[in-house]
Amino acid sequence: MADILDQLQINHTFWYQFGLFAAFFFVLSQLYLKPFQKLIEKRNHKLSHDTKDAADLMKSVDAKLTAYEQELSRLRHESRMSFEQAVSEVRAKEDSTIAVFRDELKKDYLKVQQQFAEEKVKMEAELKSHVNELADAVAAKAMGK
């Protein structure tokens, strides 16, 4: 073993340097590395906590979004039904109003048709009397000649 250590040129100063390096590393790890390790652990803990909070918040948001969509769907359905009911009421009123006006127009049409028939009868009678008078005048002139 001594031969191997001599070949690698490892003597007692190596062991002193190794011991000093180990002691120096231990002191530095206690002074500098421990605070960094604590900081990293803190960040990891905060990150995992924030990730959990974000997941819980996403679940809450998803639940609220689902409730909102259901409420929106319900309100759309209610408004559609209300709109259809209003349209059917307006159509019913429109139909009744049209029926009333149609009846009034029929009455007015029949009245005008009756007046027209009366005027026709009057005009025919007047025309017959004029034709008779003219025929009498023509016959009188023809006879008188």
Range with lowest mean pLDDT among 80-89, 106-115, 128-137: 128-137
Question: Greatest CA separation found in the chain?
Answer: 184
Q: Who's near 11: CB < 8 A, 6+ residues apart?
A: 5
- DSSP characters over 70-108: HHHHHHHHHHHHHHHHHHHHHHHHHHHHHHHHHHHHHHH
pLDDT, tens digit (0-9, with 9 covering 90-100), for 134-144 = 888 888 888 87
pLDDT, tens digit (0-9, with 9 covering 90-100), for 43-101 = 999 999 999 999 999 999 999 999 999 999 999 999 999 999 999 999 999 999 999 99
Give the pLDDT confidence score for residue 47 in this predicted structure. Answer: 95
Nearest-5° Cα angle at 53, 52 to 55: 65
Q: Who's near 129: CB < 8 A, 6+ residues apart?
A: none
Go through 34-72 and write b for each residue having 16 or more CB atoms within 10 A of its CB, e for each that does not: eeeeeeeeeeeeeeeeeeeeeeeeeeeeeeeeeeeeeee
pTM for this predicted structure? 0.46
